Every structure is written in C-alpha cells, then in structure tokens.
Structure 1
C-alpha cells in the first residue's frame, strides 16, 4: 500500500511541470497585481499536487493513535477533505474571473485558498513546520486583507507597503537567535490579531453600506447576514488557533470560511448574470418600443408630407380649372346664340365650380350648405312643376362640412332630384334634414309612381343609384333607397359630421 501511494506520487511529480506549463499558456492577459496573484496561485496549486499524495499516505499509515487522539485523526481527515474542496473552489473562482474581468478582487481570495492548503499540508512533511508557517502566514494575511479591502472597493498604499514589509521581515526573523517555536507563537498572535481587526473593519463597513440613501447602492440585508456568518467562521478559526492549537478545529473552520466565501462570490456572480440578462431583455423591449415609435412617427411624417403634396396639387388643379376651363365656359355662356348650348355650358360651369370648391379643401359651414342645397333643390323641382317642401333642423347647428363631403353630398342631392324629375312622375316632394348624435341625415320622399318591380333588382345598375351609394360610402356613410309601386320613393342619406 505504501509503495503504491509513493509510486502515484512519483507519477504526479513527473506530470506536474507539464500541467503547470499548460495552465500558464491558457491563462488570459492580466494586470500586474492580478498577474502576480495568478502566478502565486498557479505555483501553490502545482506544489499542492506534489504534496497531497504524501499527506494522504501519512494519514493512511498512521494507524490507530488511541482513544484520546481519535478526534485529532478525524479532524485531520476532515481537514484533508476540506482542503481538496478548497482546491476545487479555487478552480471555479479562476473560471469566474476568466469570464468576468470586473471581479478581479476575487483573485486575492483565489490566491488565499491554495495558499492555506499549501501551508497546512506542507508543514507536517517538513522538519520545520513552525518555520513554514512563519514564512507563509504573512503572505496569506496580505492576500486576506487585500481581499477584504478590494471587496469594498478601497485601497491603501501605506497598508499595502506595511503588509509587504511584514511578509519580508518575518522570514528574516527566523535568522535571529530566538527559538522558532517562540517566533511562530508570536506570529500566530500578531497576525491573527491583524486578521481579526481587518474582519471587524470589513463587517463595520458592510453594516454602513446597508443604510446608503439609494436602493442601488445599498448592501442587501441577506448578503450582510451571510457575510457575517462566513467571516465569523474565520474569526472562530483564529480564536481556536489561539486557545486550542492542537485540536485541529482551526483547520476545519478556516477552510469552511474560505469555501463559504467562494460560494458566496459564485452566488453573487449568478445573480449579477441574471440581472444583466434581465437588463438586456428590458433594453431589447425598450429598443423595440423605440423602433415602433419611430416607425409611427415616420408614417405620420410621410402621411403629412403626402397630404401637403396632395393639397398643393389639388390647389394647382383647381386654379387651372378656374382660370382656363372656367373662363372658356363663361365665354360660351355669354356668346352662344343657342339657349340649349348656353344652358349646358352654365350647368358645366356650375359643376366645375363645385369641383374647384372641393379641391380647394376649405370647410363649409353646415348652415350655409343647407341654404345652398335648399335654393338649388327647390328651384329645380319648381321648374319641373313639383311642389317642394324643405324641412331644416329645428335647432341652430354650428357644425362644419369638409369640402369633399360638401361636394359629394351636393352631387347625391342633384342625382336624387334628377331621378325624381325624370322618372318618378311625382307632384310633391318632402326633403327633411337633421343633425344629431354626430350624424347628418337627409330624407327625400316623393309621391310618385315608385320604382317598377322589374327594376327592383337592378337599382344599383341604373338611375344613378350606384354612384349615390358609392359617394356615401366614400364619406363613411350610407344611402338607402326604399320604393314600391304606387307609394313613391324614399332616399335616406346618413353621413358622419
């Protein structure tokens, strides 16, 4: 069994340099401070790979030390397991730093983990365990204090230089004519006291950060409790090393504290990743809303521009009709010797003026429109010997008609009057107008012979009915025709105001 373990240790020693070079090649570019911590971590981890088999062999071959020291054996075995977990946690933290450069302060915790394993595992294998502790402990304190400070985004150059000087002076103190055990005992109390002060300072600032004014800067209460528990384990490890140096309790509490701090950092990284993904999703939603808003704005601008161009073109066409065609029709009206030609020219001139009025786009007051329609309808029906009865709205109305709606309504009324004169044979016609509930209605009813049954299925194909309904539909209204032989015809026009 002893030979097998030693042979495994020899194999791992042979494979050790290759693994070290492999890690160094795949490491990303680092800053000077982070590079130093990373190099220290790689070296400590490689050295741990060399001494771990020997440590296990010593634990396996130690035998039963007796009932008194069973707790020490159990503590040492548990310590070995925690040290292995520390190495794995250091590897995880290394991957985390690799993926997120903003977490560079974790490099100090990363260096602390294999450093602790190296100090605890190497000390029993050397003839000078106290000397090893004196050499390595100041550097571990240096890493721990820097981690606690960088965790709060604070730096102190004077403290940095003092800790470096301390880490250099303690190994030199071993050359003095003092017993190594006394120097190790002094280092244990002195460095432990410094670590406790750093922990208390860290907890105090975390407590203050919980009461910052803004919610984004405020340290979460749950994280504060977890940090206090983990740092408290580290403080208990220092106290156990002072009061119970041979119990191995410090070798259990310290790795538990470091593993907990590492898991806490991984938890914070996972939470930050979730928050960043949520922020990205919210940003995409805001971007989509902004794009939709820009598209709506672009459509509105394009529609307004098109309306401007259309309005300008309408005015140009209206001006051309009025100046050119209107002048020629007016000349025909005044110079024609034929009454028929003069009448047709006058009607064409009226139609042209109506078209020009619709093209100019000026709105028409509804009362003025009713006056124009009444004058024209009553005059035309009177010329055909048809008694016209016009009923205007009872109340005064203040609505206006868009120019296009005024033109279309005028043409519908003209077409209706033309049908009454040409086809109905009526002697009486009632025209009722009303404006209520946002709609304008005109009802034209005559006492003529009505529409014959054979033409009832072809109302949309003759007598101008199709054009009347199409014009009403353009105004988002409707035109209904009710007729029957012997009881006349009723035309109902309804359009929104």
Structure 2
C-alpha cells in the first residue's frame, strides 16, 4: 500500500477537477491519505480522460476554425484544455496558475453552454473576465493563506457551473417546446443525460466536503469523472452535429442541382417554344405575303386570260390554274375550315366532274352532323388527293359508277373513294404507288400525319381510303 502525505501533494493531480481545485486552493484539505486501489483506478481513468480530452480539443478546434457557425466551440476547447492543464499543474512552482486555470475553465464552460443556445449577455462576459483577475489577485493578496478564501472560491466557481448548466438546460427545453429552433432543441434528452448527472456530481462533492472529509476523499475521485465525461459528450455531440450538417448540406446541394437542372430544362423548353412561335409568326407573315402576291398579281392575270381568251382550251386551262392558285392561297392564309363546309365544296366539285365524264357519282356524307374543323393545310392536301383520285377515275379506270363516302371515327376523318373500273394494270408489278399519282397522294397524307391506302385489282376496281386526324 502506497502512503501519500502532504509533502507529496503532486499526487493530487490524479484527483477529479473540482476536488483538485479545492485541494489546490485549500491545502489544508490535502491531509495524509492512503492511496487505495479505488483511488488508483480513479486516477488512471482521469489520465485516460485527460488524453481523450486533448485529442477531442484538437478535433473541435479544427472544426470551430473551419466553420463560422461553430465559433462558440472555441470555448469548449478552452474548457477542455483548462481541465487538462489544471490536472497536470501539480508541481509546487505551478501553484500560482491553478486559480487562474480554474476561473478560465468556468469562464469557457459558462460561455459555451449559454452561447450554444444563442443566449449572450454582455454583463456576464464582463463579470467572467473580471473574475479571472479577481480570483488569483485575492489569493495573491492573502500571501498563500488560502484555506477559507480558497474554499469560498471553490464553492462559488462550482455553483457558477451548476447554474450555467441548469440555465442552458432550461433554455433548451423552452426551445424544444416552442419549436423555434429544432437544431439545438431537438436533442434535449441527450443534453439532460449529460448535464444533470454532472450537476448532481458537483453539488454532491460540495456537500460531502462540508459534511465529511472522509466521504469526500473517497467519493470525489469518482464523482469528479462526470465533468470530463460531460466535455467529451459535448465534443462528440458537436462533431455529430457537424457531420449531420454536412450530410444535410450535400442533400440540399443535390436537391438544388436537381431543381437547377429542371429549371434550365424548363428555360430551354420555353426558349424553344418562343423560337418556334417566332419562326411560326415569321412563316405566317411570309405565307400571307406570298398569298397576297399570288392573289393580286397571278390571280388577276389568270382571270384576265379566262375572260379574254378566244381559245376554249386556253380558257379552260387558265380557269383550272386559277382554281389551283386559289386553293394554294387558301392553304397559305392558314385559316381553319369547317368540315361541313369542306364536305359541301368537295361534293359539288366531285359530282360535277364525274357527271361531265358520264360517271354516276354517289356521295355518302357522315351519318350525323359534324362540328369539326380542318387545318388549312389539311384542307388543301385533302382536296388535292380527292382531285387526283377523281382524275384517275376519269382518265384510267373506265368506270361507270363511283362511290365517295365520308365518316368521322374516334377523332379521325376517313374519306373512301371506290370505283367499279378495270383496276390498276398488272404491269405495275403490284407496286400501286408507281402510277396514277399514288406516291404523291401517300406523301400528302403523310404530311398530314395520316395515311392513304390503295386496294386494287384487275376487273374489280380501285379503293382509296384516306385517314387523317382532326
């Protein structure tokens, strides 16, 4: 068993922080004691705690220097280093530093606990700074007789820590209830688990020192472990908060990048739409200009030829050219055409042309009234397909009867032209799009996003079925 007497005071460095400060400020308390296995293991744990606090102070110091919002963590670094240095300052020559280290520890601890909750008061800052000067000065004035004064300062500094912990815990509770700030208020239970045992340990040490020196000497090494454990817990909490903040920042950055990409895509779509609208406007103006030129210049000249020509052949060709020109102008102007009006125009033209060729024309309109409209280009292309079909019937089919039926089904307009002629000759090798303008009709249907199907065979006529979307 190792014996420790008053001259061997450096061994007191293994005692917990509050006990150490009391012993350093009150040498009378450091009476001869027996270093039991319990005290030995407590001293060992204090040594490990000092080493871990030194490492934790380094990590927290780096974090506080890199992150502006974590600047209050510098007070936690000061608290940790004050405890580590205070534990090591057991040499007789360092006795003058111990009171200052204790007051620095209290200053840093109070500042960190309160500023962590964004609670700052200038009078507290000034009082703590003044205390750092008053404590060592008052001990210096006594000339080393610090028994009563040292005990008094020990109680005052300990109570300051307890009050600061309790106030910080109350503020955190208020924040959690009001949900003003989820970051400091959401971990109330964790902070309560760290602060409450430390507060009880500090109060218990002071009470034991007043009640029984023997109990104080036995229990205080273990009670004093709560303060370094608290500082380690605060450091881990800080590092954990920084890590979570980093993860949250990365998530927000990813979300921001996604929103930015979506915004850019939307801007690009809007720009493309605006460009398309601008192009459409320019194209529309150009179409109208061309239509006006055709109508005013070419139309007038063709009309003059129709009325002044002495040749029936020339007059007929001029009249046909005039009709084609008017159809082209109608397509260029871009005005929609009511389907019922288009059906009337087509019926009059088809029946007239087929009747002139001595071909019986049967026109079948839709079963019910239609209220749809056709785009101008669709009207022009359909008219030309219909004219080409009628021309084929007149010129090539040898038919005596033709049936033209119209229907509207599921948003599509279906035009069917059927004759009882001789059909398309076999010399075309089954390629129905080689002759009679079939390729042109299919191309026009494709431009309208529709289709033109042709069925024919020698001796049973030809069927042309045009389907276009309305």
Q: TM-score, normalised by structure 1?
A: 0.83
Query: Which of 194, 198, 201 matches 2:164?
Result: 198
Q: Which residue of 2 aligns with 1:184?
A: 150
Distance 2:327 2:101 in 1: 104
Q: Does 1:246 align with 2:210?
A: no
Q: CA deviation at 1:234?
A: 2.8
Q: Does 1:235 align with 2:199?
A: yes
Any conservation in 2 of the 1:389–1:430 contact (CA below 8 Å)? yes
Q: CA deviation at 1:457?
A: 2.2
- Secondary structure of 1:346's partner? helix
Distance 1:257 1:178 in 2: 32
Q: Which residue of 1 aligns with 2:190?
A: 226
- Secondary structure of 1:246's partner? helix
Change in Cα spacing, 1:136 to 1:250, as seen in structure 2 (3 Å) is farther
Instruction: Report the more deviating stretch, 183-192 or 360-369.
Output: 183-192
Q: Which residue of 1 aligns with 2:464?
A: 491
Q: Does 1:112 align with 2:79?
A: yes
- Structure 2 unaligned segments of length 5 or more: list them: 1-32, 209-214
Q: CA deviation at 1:410?
A: 0.4
Any conservation in 1 of the 2:426–2:458 contact (CA below 8 Å)? yes
Q: CA deviation at 1:135?
A: 3.1
Q: Which residue of 2 aligns with 1:169?
A: 134
Number of aligned positions between the proteins: 428
Q: Which residue of 1 aligns with 2:44?
A: 77
Distance 1:136 1:412 in 2: 102
- Structure 1 unaligned segments of length 5 or more: list them: 1-64
RMSD in angstroms over aligned alpha carbons? 1.8
Q: Which residue of 1 aligns with 2:117?
A: 152
Q: Does 1:336 align with 2:300?
A: no
Change in Cα spacing, 1:160 to 1:270, as seen in structure 2 (3 Å) is same
Q: Which residue of 2 aligns with 1:5?
A: none
Distance 1:268 1:390 in 2: 83
Q: Which residue of 2 aligns with 1:90?
A: 57
Distance 1:330 1:128 in 2: 121
Distance 1:80 1:466 in 2: 97
Q: Which residue of 1 aligns with 2:449?
A: 476
Any conservation in 2 of the 1:382–1:388 contact (CA below 8 Å)? yes
Change in Cα spacing, 1:329 to 1:380, as seen in structure 2 (3 Å) is same
Q: Which residue of 1 aligns with 2:254?
A: 281
Q: Could you list the per-position Cα deviations for residues 319-367 of structure 1 after superposition, in whole angstroms to 9, with x for gaps in the alignment?
A: 0000111111111111111110110011000000000000000111111
Q: Which has the higher contact order (CA 8 A, sep 6+)?
A: 2
Distance 2:252 2:263 in 1: 16
Change in Cα spacing, 1:480 to 1:329, as seen in structure 2 (3 Å) is same
Q: CA deviation at 1:219?
A: 4.2
- Secondary structure of 2:229's partner? helix
Q: CA deviation at 1:237?
A: 3.9
Change in Cα spacing, 1:424 to 1:456, as seen in structure 2 (3 Å) is farther
- Secondary structure of 1:211's partner? helix
Q: CA deviation at 1:240?
A: 4.7
Query: Which of 185, 194, 209 matches 2:175?
Result: 209
Q: CA deviation at 1:372?
A: 0.5
